[in-house]
């Protein structure tokens, strides 16, 4: 069972790739709920938030249950995983936040760690890919590193594929994409957002 593989892999190597996490119709259902107006993504935390296209070029919108049943179903699935991870790993996950990301042609996100400086509330990062006809020539891979800068994983953003990884342990980047690239990034949190 994939949840058991997820738990085992997170506790041993710190990440897990779950292919076919959602099927094509589930992905399409979520896409149909996403408004057309997205915001340019920003970097930083709360008062220090800023746009910087030299670091990241995607556009985002936070997912809310009011967007529709496909989004609710996705959030429910993530809540079940949160509870399973807490039961198995005792890591105190209290909440989940998530947003849709669209990288236009040529966009990227330079190497970073998913906890703004001084903040430790993001414990596990998740990225669900939503690109049905992705080809290797489309680029836009996620590259994950260790803290010494050694490449550990280069992952194609194939539809239905989800990666989970320990947020503070793996610097990562999104390579420039040659096609529109869509995903849902999320974080299991050790405290609820204010």
**Per-residue confidence at 49, pLDDT binned at 50, 70, 90?**
very low
Q: Which two tokens stand for residue 25?
A: 């119709």
**Per-residue confidence at 41, pLDDT binned at 50, 70, 90?**
confident
**How many CB atoms are closer than 10 A to CB 184?**
24
Residue in the structure block whose two tokens are 């990562």: 172
pTM reported for the whole predicted model: 0.92
**pLDDT tens track for 110-166:** 999 887 656 678 999 999 999 999 999 999 999 999 999 999 999 999 999 999 999
Residue in the structure block whose two tokens are 């974080």: 187
Per-domain residue ranges of the chain = 1-36+64-189
**pLDDT tens track for 70-84:** 999 999 999 999 999
Average pLDDT for 25-51: 77
> What DSSP assignment string belongs to 137-171?
GGB--EEEE-TTS-EEEEE---TT-EEEEETTT--
**Per-residue confidence at 192, pLDDT binned at 50, 70, 90?**
confident
CATH dotted code for 1-36+64-189: 2.60.120.620
**How many CB atoms are closer than 10 A to CB 156?**
15
Average pLDDT for 64-70: 97
Q: Which residue has the higher pLDDT, 49 or 68?
A: 68
Instruction: Supply the mean pLDDT for the chain.
Output: 91
pLDDT at 148: 95
């Amino acid at each position: 069972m994939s949840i058991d593989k997820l738990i085992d892999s997170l506790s041993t190597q710190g990440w897990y790739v779950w292919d076919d996490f959602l099927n094509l119709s589930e992905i399409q259902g979520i896409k149909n709920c996403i408004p057309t107006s997205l915001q340019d993504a920003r970097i930083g935390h709360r008062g220090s938030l800023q746009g910087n296209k030299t670091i990241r070029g995607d556009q985002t919108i936070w997912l809310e249950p009011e967007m529709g049943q496909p989004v609710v179903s996705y959030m429910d699935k993530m809540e079940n995983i949160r509870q399973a991870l807490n039961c198995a790993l005792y890591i105190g996950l209290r909440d989940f936040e998530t947003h849709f990301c669209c990288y236009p042609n040529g966009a990227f996100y330079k190497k970073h760690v998913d906890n703004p400086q001084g903040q430790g509330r993001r414990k596990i990062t998740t990225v669900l890919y939503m690109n049905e006809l992705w080809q290797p020539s489309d680029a836009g891979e996620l590259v994950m590193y260790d803290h010494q800068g050694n490449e550990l994983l280069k992952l194609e953003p194939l539809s239905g594929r989800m990666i989970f990884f320990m947020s503070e342990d793996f610097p990562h980047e999104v390579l420039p994409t040659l096609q529109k690239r869509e995903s849902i990034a999320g974080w299991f949190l050790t405290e609820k957002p204010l």
